[in-house]
């Protein structure tokens, strides 16, 4: 990654943006290799966080029509990553929940994400890694 300088100091906004783009590119490449889009992964994470969502929730969250969201979800249903479950309270409402295969996929993705991070940070020596951890911890505290 090339260093970007602004008025003889590093522009942290630009460097962080470049880092984010690099990480996103690496994750998108992993998604493509596994046959899914980043949107599929985003939806799986959204469902995992919420536990159970309706198609309308997903459509609103993705800013798309319910039929478009339904088409996207269908691929996940076929792969057993999500399940459609009829609501106990309203038979017209269908809830989307994570399927059994989603947990295996999350585990695999987590391992790949760790591998990507290790590859990116392998360029740093131990002191630089320690400094980075200290700085990031300070930023999030």
DSSP β-bridge partners for residue 106: none
Per the model's pLDDT, the better-predicted residue between 53 and 106 turns out to be 53
Q: What is the pTM (predicted TM-score) of this model? A: 0.65
pLDDT at 121: 87
Alpha-helix runs per DSSP H in 1-141: 12-34, 38-50, 55-62, 66-78, 100-121, 126-140
Q: Where are the domains of the chain?
A: 5-140
Do 81 and 120 contact (CB within 8 A), yes or no?
Answer: no
Residues 6+ apart with CB under 8 A from 134: none
Q: Give the mean pLDDT of the chain.
A: 84
Do 109 and 41 contact (CB within 8 A), yes or no?
Answer: yes
Note the CATH architecture for domain 5-140.
Orthogonal Bundle (1.10)
- pLDDT > 70 in the chain, percent: 93
CA 14 to chain centre: 22
Helix (H, G, I), strand (E, B) or coil at 111: helix
pLDDT digits (tens, 9 = 90+) for 105-139: 878 877 888 888 888 889 999 999 999 889 888 98
């Amino acid at each position: 990654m090339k260093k970007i300088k602004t008025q003889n100091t590093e522009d942290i906004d630009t460097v962080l943006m470049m880092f984010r783009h690099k990480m996103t590119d690496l994750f998108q490449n992993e998604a493509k290799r596994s046959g899914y889009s980043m949107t599929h992964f985003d939806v799986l994470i959204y469902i995992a966080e919420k536990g159970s969502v309706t198609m309308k929730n997903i459509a609103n969250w993705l800013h798309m029509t319910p039929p478009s969201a339904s088409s996207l979800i269908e691929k996940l249903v076929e792969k057993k990553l999500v399940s459609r479950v009829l609501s106990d309270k309203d038979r017209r409402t269908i809830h989307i929940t994570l399927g059994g295969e989603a947990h295996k996929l999350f585990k695999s993705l987590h391992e790949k994400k760790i591998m990507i991070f290790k590859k990116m940070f392998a360029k740093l020596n131990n002191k630089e890694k320690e400094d980075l951890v200290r700085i990031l911890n300070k930023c999030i505290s």
